[in-house]
Amino acid sequence: MGLVCHGRIGAMDALIRDVVIRAGQHCTVGRMVRGSVRGALLESDGDIPDTTLSISFQESTLGPRSLEGVGKKMAVPGATELQWGVKWHYFISRGGLAPLKELFLNGLETALGDLAEEQVSHMGSYWVIRCDLDDPEASPLEPLVHSAEAFTHLFTEGGRGAGTLYPKCSVGYSVGMITHAGRVLRMTSNGVVVNTNGVMPPLGSLVCLQFKLSSPQGEQISIIRGTVRHRTAKEEQRGGMCVFELRIRDAYDMDEHGALESFLKELGDRVASES
């Protein structure tokens, strides 16, 4: 998906919200005139193709596609020549629950608690709201699941036999409903070590590490899920950072199948070039 318009939602005029619109390789700026959980009336002087659209909110503060609604462009009776409608298929928040709550309350006039339980799903800070459960074409991409054994295979193949890889990249993780930031120090075929200034997850807890991976389509989310098997408090660690280690249980490509495999191959190529 691709058309881009920039925007934010918050304490503004209740009927006007700036947005970023993506459709294929097109991008334009527009505004959401009014909206509900079923659809919205948008306004833009850009060329909007008659196709499935990604409507992105709060890009200036959350980042591209961190909070987006996906839907089909539709004609709306009584709309001006610069206005058109979108029927929502689903919403995705890649940055936790709070931005999604704000969008629904302030922009779509709906509390998340009013939705059916089967409409809402999440893994870590990756949340999905489905608006039409009866239309299979209105569903988001199903995550590609990698078992612990499958991840070991991807790691061995991508890492070119290296026993340890050193991503040294930022990662998000959730404790309760709160998302924290950390940095991946090293990774093996069955474990990941993260350091952080955030809250330490409890020993034995199940944690989702959320990676933002680059692709030709933009940033894609992959998740590695595991159990905390070791942690060191900042008082015990040089540099004043907390460290915890996960035993990998499984992994997921949330936005693009193959993203995690490509990431591991990049890390393996880096190790090979440095040796």
DSSP letters along 184-204, please?
Answer: EEEE-SSEEEEEESSPPPPTT
Q: Any residues with CB less than 8 A from the CB of 17 and at least 6 apart, and which?
A: 7, 8, 9, 31, 32, 35, 57, 107
Residue 62 scores a pLDDT above 90: no
Residue 239 scores a pLDDT above 70: no
Please check whether residues 48 and 150 belong to one and the same domain.
Answer: no
Token pair of 1, please? 């998906």
With respect to residue 1, please indicate whether it lies within any of the assigned structural domains. Answer: no
The last residue of a domain, from among 138, 169, 185: 138
Please check whether residues 173 and 269 belong to one and the same domain.
Answer: yes
The last residue of a domain, from among 92, 113, 138: 138
Q: What per-residue confidence (pLDDT) applies to 240?
A: 64
15 against 144, higher pLDDT: 144
104-124 average pLDDT score: 88
* Helices and strands in the chain, H and E counts: 4, 15
pLDDT band at 139 (very low <50, low <70, confident <90, very high): confident
DSSP codes joined into one string, 137-159: GGSPPPPEEEEHHHHHHHHHHHT
Give pLDDT tens digits for 16-52.
478 999 887 788 889 898 899 999 999 988 777 778 8
With respect to residue 7, please indicate whether it lies within any of the assigned structural domains. Answer: no
Q: What per-residue confidence (pLDDT) applies to 113?
A: 84
Q: Any residues with CB less than 8 A from the CB of 121 and at least 6 apart, and which?
A: 127, 128, 130
Q: What per-residue confidence (pLDDT) applies to 68?
A: 93
Please check whether residues 49 and 67 belong to one and the same domain.
Answer: yes
pLDDT band at 2 (very low <50, low <70, confident <90, very high): very low
The last residue of a domain, from among 89, 118, 138: 138
Token pair of 111, please? 């509390």
Please check whether residues 79 and 120 belong to one and the same domain.
Answer: yes
Please check whether residues 129 and 171 belong to one and the same domain.
Answer: no
60 burial via Cβ count (<10 Å: 0-12, 13-18, 19+): exposed
Residue 3 scores a pLDDT above 60: no
Please check whether residues 171 and 270 belong to one and the same domain.
Answer: yes
Q: Any residues with CB less than 8 A from the CB of 8 and at least 6 apart, and which?
A: 17, 18, 57, 58, 59, 60, 61
N residues, the chain: 275
264 and 154 Cβ atoms separated by less than 8 Å: yes
Please check whether residues 89 and 171 belong to one and the same domain.
Answer: no
CATH number at residue 181: 2.40.10.220
Question: Mean pLDDT across the chain, nearest whole number?
Answer: 85
Q: What per-residue confidence (pLDDT) applies to 9?
A: 39
Q: Structural domain of residue 207, as residue ranges?
A: 144-274
Number of domains comprising the chain:
2
With respect to residue 2, please indicate whether it lies within any of the assigned structural domains. Answer: no
Q: What per-residue confidence (pLDDT) applies to 193?
A: 96
Secondary structure (3-state) at 255: coil
Q: What per-residue confidence (pLDDT) applies to 54?
A: 92
84-101 average pLDDT score: 91
CATH number at residue 107: 2.40.10
Consecutive H or E run containing 231: strand 220-232
With respect to residue 90, please indicate whether it lies within any of the assigned structural domains. Answer: yes
Token pair of 144, please? 């590609």
Q: What per-residue confidence (pLDDT) applies to 10?
A: 41
Please check whether residues 77 and 153 belong to one and the same domain.
Answer: no
Residue that has been written with the tokens 């709201």 in this structure: 129
Please check whether residues 184 and 91 belong to one and the same domain.
Answer: no
Q: What per-residue confidence (pLDDT) applies to 14?
A: 41
Please check whether residues 103 and 152 belong to one and the same domain.
Answer: no
